[in-house]
Structure formats: C-alpha cells, structure tokens
Structure 1
Amino acid sequence: MLIPLGLARDPALICIDDPQTFPEAGIEGWSGEQLENAATIIRTAGALGFPREGQILGVMTAMGESSLHNIDYGDWETRGFTNPDGTRTTSIGLFQQQEWWGSVEQRMDPATATTLFFDRLGRLPEWQTMEPSHAIHRVQINTDRDYYSRFQTDATAVVDAMSGPCE
C-alpha cells in the first residue's frame, strides 16, 4: 500500500512492524520514537480487539498526555500540579498514568500502559458513540473534557498511514 505523505517527496510504504519504513519527514509532524510508540498503541489496541476508532483514541490520548514520548515524569515535576485531594501526582509514561493504574514498570512499558488504557476504555460501554475527547476524558479523568480534540486530526492521520498491510 502506498501512502502519500505531506512532507515526503514520494509515496512511501509504511509497515507498522518495521520502524525502518517510517518516513523521516514524519506524519503530520510526528516522527521517530513518537511513531514507534504510536505503532505500539495501534498494534496493542488491535490485538485487544479495538477497531480503528479505538486506536485513534489511544493515539490521541498519548499525543495529549506525553507527545507520544514514554516519559518518566509528569505534571507534578513540570507544573507542580496536585491531585484533587492535594497529593502529588504520580503520572508517568505515554498515557501519564498515576500509581493506581499499575506499577512503575507497567506504566513505563508502552504495550502494558496501552493495555491498561484500553482495559478502562472497554469498560465504558458507550465509548464508540461519545465525542472522542469526552470518552478519553472519562478514562483519563483530566480537567478538560475537550482537551484531546486538538489531537484528533493528527491521530487519525497517523493511524490511517500506519494501518496498511505489510508486504
């Protein structure tokens, strides 16, 4: 499958399982490690039975939470944010999951963190009929339910570009 990429000179074949095929120019400005993490989210979501729409939600979430980087720090360290009860936030990883999501190792492993996210999304029966950002908000419990909307176009482009068959 040939995918025309905005910044690439020629259409490129992208194989989700082969980072060597990811375009150097990126997809909508996302590149390198970010695309590798997006690929992990897409593969893991697919293996868990989530369709394209769910995969887009997973990528949107990680774009909004960590810019698709697997970071070992969160809002406390960068902005001094606290939880509603006044305790320090403990968010880490692609999805900026706090300690009640799982161990540090689980939250820092992209595939496991993705599984934790989709386990909670799957428990939200109406997620497929909700506004995407609102569904994510229900899982992530962030302060602004519309926050993730700004990542929907990019997440859709990344998922669509990386979802072709590997030849």
Structure 2
Amino acid sequence: MDVTNRRTTATRRRPVKRRRARRRRLSARKRAALRLRRRLMLRRVLIGAGAVAAIAALAVLLPMTTAQAPVCAADPTSFPTAGIEGWQGEQLENAATIVLTARELGFDRAGQVIGVMAAMGESSLRAIDYGDWETSRVTNPDGSRTSSIGLFQQQEWWGSAEQRMDPASSAALFFDRLARLPAWHDMEPSLAIHRVQINTDPAHYAPFRSDAEAIVDALSGTCEVTG
C-alpha cells in the first residue's frame, strides 16, 4: 500500500472514531439525565410519603386536641360556648336538665342517652309550644288534632300544658313511661323511644345517638360543692 492509500484509509477511520466518541458522550449524558430523573422521582415519593404521614398524624392528634372535657351538668356557665356537636345554648341547657332528671330517677348513662335522643328527635332540644298539627296538620288515628308541645312533643294525655312545657317535668313524664317498658335496657335506643313515644317510625331517633352520647359524656363532669 502506498502513502496515498494509507492517508485515505486513516481519513476514513477518523469519522468512525469520532462518531463512536460522540455516541459515548451522548450515552453518558443519557445515563446522567436518567440518574437525575430517578433522584427527582425518589425525592417526590419521599415528600409525598412525608405529607401522608403528617396528615395521618394530624388526623390522630386533632380529635385529642378538640375533645370536650367533661363539665358540670348543673352549671350552665361551664358549658362550652362553641357547643357540643353543634348543639349549644338553650339546647345544651335542656339536655342538661334531661340528664339531671334521669340521674335523680336512677337512670344510668344508657337511660340518659335515650332521653336526650328523644328530645333531639322530637324538638331539636327546644321547649317549643307547638307541634305536628301546627307544622304539618298531623292528626291522631281518630282524626282529632294532635296536641304535641314541649321538649318531648307530648300530647295532652301526658299531662298539663305546664308540665309538658317545663323541661324537667316533661323529662320526668318521659322517664316514668320508659321505666315501665319491660327490658328497655336491652332494646335498640331508637326502638325503646318509639315504644314510649308511639311515633310512626321506630328508627326515627337513631341518627341522634352519637350526638346524644357526646353530650351525655360531656355533661358527666364533677360538680364543685360550694358553701
């Protein structure tokens, strides 16, 4: 091979080597970009996992920080101004009256919860002076007007209007009938109330159970004796 042919061959080989070097450089860049992409993805995963863990911790801690400390049922000034489960003011005072009346008559927590549930379902814990006739023109089975009033929406055969409108007296009337209900303690609370109130829907009071339990528990605090 002469000198000219050697130069030609060398010239042909140089582009090949350059292309290979370029490919190696490109491959190195791709590998670096891939490593960077992986690091970014890992960082995102870690950040996401940390956020999930923080939210989970907050969900656990929040109920602990917002739980209502028990207060004295006989002292309305100790009731939380923000209310309990959305019930506040006059409603909490009436619930406290029901709880205190139940205690005086010997009813335990279950009976107290049933009493509060009943008043929630009947009047939203308000001693209202009207009932189903005034709001919906509901009549009794014999066609006569219903005469329901008060916390428990009791009709005239329960007692006088004064008794039915007084929270403590109306609660006592309710618990008197509950006590005469055989095995009420073994019944579902809503069914026990239904048997006392004789309403149309046995499950009507069930949605109020958790709120009633929260209120009864919140009103279970020790009352300070003064004087």
Q: TM-score range by the shorter chain?
A: over 0.9
> Which of 138, 144, 147 is residue 87 of structure 1 equivalent to?
144
Name the structure where helix makes up a greater proportion of residues: 2
Residue 12 of structure 1 contacts residue 23 of structure 1 at CA under 8 Å; is this kept in 2? Answer: no
The one-letter code matched in structure 2 to 1:14 is V
Cα offset for 1:17? 1.1
> Which of 112, 115, 120 is residue 63 of structure 1 equivalent to?
120
Taking CA–CA contacts closer than 8 Å with sequence separation of 6 or more, which of the two structures ends up with the larger relative contact order?
A: 1
> Which of 135, 160, 167 is residue 78 of structure 1 equivalent to?
135
Residue 13 of structure 1 contacts residue 21 of structure 1 at CA under 8 Å; is this kept in 2? Answer: no
Structure 2 residue runs of 5 or longer lacking an equivalent are 1-61
Residue 70 of structure 2 contacts residue 217 of structure 2 at CA under 8 Å; is this kept in 1? Answer: no
Structure 1 residue runs of 5 or longer lacking an equivalent are none
Tell me, in whole angstroms, the C-alpha distance in 1 between the residues paired with 2:115 and 2:160. 20
Residue 83 of structure 2 contacts residue 89 of structure 2 at CA under 8 Å; is this kept in 1? Answer: yes
Per-residue CA distance 1:23-62 (angstroms, 9 max, x = gap): 1110000000000000000000000000000000000000
Task: State the match for 2:106 in structure 1.
Answer: 49
Task: State the match for 1:129 in structure 2.
Answer: 186
Residue 52 of structure 1 contacts residue 159 of structure 1 at CA under 8 Å; is this kept in 2? Answer: yes
Task: State the match for 1:115 in structure 2.
Answer: 172
Cα offset for 1:10? 8.5
Cα offset for 1:12? 4.8
Residue 68 of structure 2 contacts residue 218 of structure 2 at CA under 8 Å; is this kept in 1? Answer: no
The one-letter code matched in structure 1 to 2:125 is L
How many percent identity over aligned positions?
A: 69
Tell me, in whole angstroms, the C-alpha distance in 1 between the residues paired with 2:85 and 2:166. 25
Larger radius of gyration: 2
RMSD of aligned Cα (Å): 1.7
Tell me, in whole angstroms, the C-alpha distance in 1 between the residues paired with 2:116 and 2:143. 29
Mapping of residues 15-26 of structure 1, within 5 Å = 15-26=72-83
Tell me, in whole angstroms, the C-alpha distance in 1 between the residues paired with 2:68 and 2:142. 51
Cα offset for 1:13? 5.5
After TM superposition, the runs of 4+ consecutive aligned structure 1 residues lying more than 4 A away are 8-13
- CA separation of 1:101/1:114 partners in 2, compared to 1, >3 Å: closer, same or farther? same
Taking structure 2 as the reference length, the TM-score comes to 0.69
Residue 62 of structure 1 contacts residue 68 of structure 1 at CA under 8 Å; is this kept in 2? Answer: yes
Tell me, in whole angstroms, the C-alpha distance in 2 between the residues paired with 1:142 and 1:75. 11
Residue 128 of structure 2 contacts residue 149 of structure 2 at CA under 8 Å; is this kept in 1? Answer: yes
Three-state SS of the structure 1 residue aligned to 2:138 is: coil
Task: State the match for 2:215 in structure 1.
Answer: 158
Q: How many residue pairs get matched?
A: 162
Residue 102 of structure 2 contacts residue 111 of structure 2 at CA under 8 Å; is this kept in 1? Answer: yes
Tell me, in whole angstroms, the C-alpha distance in 1 between the residues paired with 2:67 and 2:184. 37
Mapping of residues 140-159 of structure 1, within 5 Å = 140-159=197-216
